[in-house]
Structure 1
């Protein structure tokens, strides 16, 4: 049996971080990464089971993996993560294509589990003692890093605590070590993720202390917090931020309210109210210049009425979040919401989601007008033959707006585009808009920062981004 592996990642950024942990374990054990699942001896699928559509995607990915396996005799198919944690018995009985499966608590032992099941990989004299060098970076200048595992909340629509367990914070030193490894390989933005970020360390000051220590890492340019529950702890975090000098912390708050109706929030077992959310978002905008808000709404929960939807529209008009994610309720076994009467029809929920989306698009049009001709410091995400894709500090990777720049739109006295690479910071003037994304012009001054990858003399940005795109395409398609 050979020694190469490929990891397909489904689900959220937290799963991306978990896949990185599996990758480390495999490399420590003597396995080597392959460029795609077709050339791998071991195809590892890191699954998601959050909602029905995620479960369907996992099953479909396993079946696709089984087809790949048929064309490559001897390949092993491994299923890991949330789906297996939640449905281990069903996996054993109904997915015979899977050669090995394990849950969320064993990511750090992936290499050991493969060796126990299939035998240790053959010895390779060229394997370097350092298992991290050159092996964690996938060409993107950003990466998620997990603060914790599990969740102690009891939201009536969410099954995560049942298969991820109770909330456990990662040690600060362990987190910092991971970030150091990532920045050494070219990552310039770290997104701190968790099922419940503001619970880290049991005190919002612990997050601020961690972020302060992250500022000591010279190659880390941007720090972004995701999944901040909209409650008193996030308020205390924002109040504490005001008194600390944290220039690398982005003016960005992602705080999922899930609904604006007091009646529905109670049914969902969620904290807060429309007024409390408005106060929290107002405080956030006072704390940092240019602050933008991302939130999410869950629609179609049993018992939702037209009056509850009116509350959502009023919330949008009052709070005007710049970014909005919309989800349809999915009944989950093991939750208090499962089996509740008055379940909305899927078609009716889809119509409501479209109605709310159109409302938010009207708000976004006004937001875009305020961005017209504004100059932003941006991070370069991608380089293409005809242009580049960049992001403002106010936009998280993969889920928020980006700015598209054509090389023909570069200012006449602007920087030489041949000297710009993913991870660089550049000044960009917004010149126009699509529905969500923006158009921009690259301004003079040149890149504000260069990636360590290029300082070390590795390949061109086009080559690196092309390779990264090929290697990560399966992984990126599964992210939410």
Structure 2
């Protein structure tokens, strides 16, 4: 790709919403702007251009994006922000409506045009209204990033898009087909992260288990992980592994590589066979239960995370109770519970037997209560254990240090709060003896060497 150099040194601020995969795209845009001569600033107030990278996955994400647009437009009204560019899934999904219905927006870029951010900034500052929508099936995923996570943690996005076509999900329509990045580019990027001091590498994609099936015509995640573990990371964390592709070879890699955390995020969504078929999910309840048993057997100390949807079309009381029984019996330590959102353009949005939203909301509350008990029981079982904890700094509200164990992924899981006699810099690994629990978090004290 031809390097672009900006004529003007504008101040550009970035706001990233949604998932970690979206954050990586934001970091790529930040690097492009930096390399073009712009000043990338942290605060939209005082910036020439604010770039809002949106999520448009479900209703709550769309609402958050709209709220952020309105907040940034207030800065424009006050004269403390120049222009507003909106990128990402919301603009890809509502490319026409955004410019027509929200005059606060000065330009939009779709998910196929992240690498057009520099010409978009130039265009909008010249008074134009850029609308860039490139091919979502052919995007540039390599290139520099301005990593915005803490210095000790970074994401490595190994693929873009999704071919799963779950009936409730809009992602393939917004992100395109599944596209693996080359091993060479990933290992080069990972080495750069390791050289800069990253200690926790989080491997992400919409579905990491299918890595390589398009590019190399075979599953290559295990081989990639073996190579990543040769780099000087302390932890390698995995998000997301789909159950139908989690084979024995990959399980062996996870079980045998000490750097790979014994923490697996497997989005299951439901357990009832009828609903799994309606969702276009591959696999059955029996196969899921057998897989979970195998994982627990092969990987001692394993912590599982999943996502579940309540209120899917066709979910009656019997199907919902089956899901509740599954949560009680499977004892999955981490679970995100979501209410079904009928997303326009997806098959599930027009399926018969739609569940009343109030009923779906009630079911979410019941599942959250069930899962909270499972999590509390798990935390109680850790009392007296000594855990390796990645310190994330001093928490003034708690009056002690905060960090995460292998069982805690950033932003989605709990924390480990601990006391220490001396200074513990952020990014340091320490051993913490667990002495208590509080609202889903663990409390402890550092074990001095």
Q: Deviations over 1:130-171 (max 9, x none)?
A: x979x5344353222211111111211001111211100112
**Could you tell me how far 1:116 is from its partner in structure 2?**
4.4
Q: By percentage of residues, which structure has more helix?
A: 1
Structure 2: 5+ residue stretches without partners: 1-7, 127-142
Structure 1: 5+ residue stretches without partners: 120-130, 411-415, 446-480
**Could you tell me how far 1:273 is from its partner in structure 2?**
2.2
**Does the 8 A contact of 1:252 with 1:292 survive in 2?**
yes
1:443 maps to 2:447: yes
Q: In 2, distance between residues paired with 1:301 and 1:245?
A: 38
Q: Deviations over 1:368-392 (max 9, x none)?
A: 2221100111111232353211111
Q: Identify the range of structure 1 (142-151 vs 199-208) with the bigger mean alpha-carbon deviation.
A: 199-208
Q: In 1, distance between residues paired with 2:149 and 2:416?
A: 22
- SS of 2:85 mapped into structure 1: strand
Q: In 2, distance between residues paired with 1:175 and 1:328?
A: 35
- SS of 1:404 mapped into structure 2: strand
Q: Cα RMSD over matched residues?
A: 2.2
Q: In 1, distance between residues paired with 2:225 and 2:218?
A: 11
1:68 maps to 2:80: no
Partner in structure 2 of residue 314 of structure 1: 325
Q: In 1, distance between residues paired with 2:348 and 2:301?
A: 38
Flag the 1:246–1:108 CA change in 2: closer, same or farther, 3 A: farther
Q: Paired residue for 1:372, among 383, 393, 413?
A: 383
**Does the 8 A contact of 1:151 with 1:167 survive in 2?**
yes
1:234 maps to 2:246: yes
- SS of 2:343 mapped into structure 1: coil
1:417 maps to 2:422: yes
Partner in structure 1 of residue 394 of structure 2: 383
**Does the 8 A contact of 1:10 with 1:46 survive in 2?**
yes
**Does the 8 A contact of 2:12 with 2:38 survive in 1?**
yes
- SS of 1:5 mapped into structure 2: strand
Partner in structure 1 of residue 5 of structure 2: none
**Could you tell me how far 1:237 is from its partner in structure 2?**
4.7
Q: Which has the higher contact order (CA 8 A, sep 6+)?
A: 1
Q: In 1, distance between residues paired with 2:115 and 2:249?
A: 31
Partner in structure 2 of residue 462 of structure 1: none
Q: In the TM superposition, what are the counterparts of 1:111-260 in structure 2 within 5 Å?
A: 111-118=118-125, 135-139=146-150, 141-202=152-213, 205-218=219-232, 220-231=233-244, 233-241=245-253, 245-260=256-271
Q: Identify the range of structure 1 (17-26 vs 309-318) with the bigger mean alpha-carbon deviation.
A: 309-318
**Does the 8 A contact of 2:28 with 2:144 survive in 1?**
no
Partner in structure 2 of residue 46 of structure 1: 53
Q: In 1, distance between residues paired with 2:221 and 2:359?
A: 41
**Does the 8 A contact of 2:56 with 2:93 survive in 1?**
yes
TM-score (norm 1): 0.83
Flag the 1:39–1:179 CA change in 2: closer, same or farther, 3 A: farther
Q: Deviations over 1:109-145 (max 9, x none)?
A: 31233234436xxxxxxxxxxx979x53443532222
**Could you tell me how far 1:108 is from its partner in structure 2?**
2.5
**Does the 8 A contact of 1:208 with 1:241 survive in 2?**
yes
Q: Paired residue for 2:406, among 388, 393, 396?
A: 393
Q: In the TM superposition, what are the counterparts of 1:265-344 in structure 2 within 5 Å?
A: 265-344=276-355
TM-score (norm 2): 0.89
Flag the 1:335–1:166 CA change in 2: closer, same or farther, 3 A: same
**Does the 8 A contact of 2:210 with 2:219 survive in 1?**
no
Q: In 1, distance between residues paired with 2:409 and 2:311?
A: 27
Flag the 1:246–1:217 CA change in 2: closer, same or farther, 3 A: same
Q: In 2, distance between residues paired with 1:259 and 1:442?
A: 39
Flag the 1:204–1:369 CA change in 2: closer, same or farther, 3 A: farther
**Does the 8 A contact of 1:137 with 1:182 survive in 2?**
no
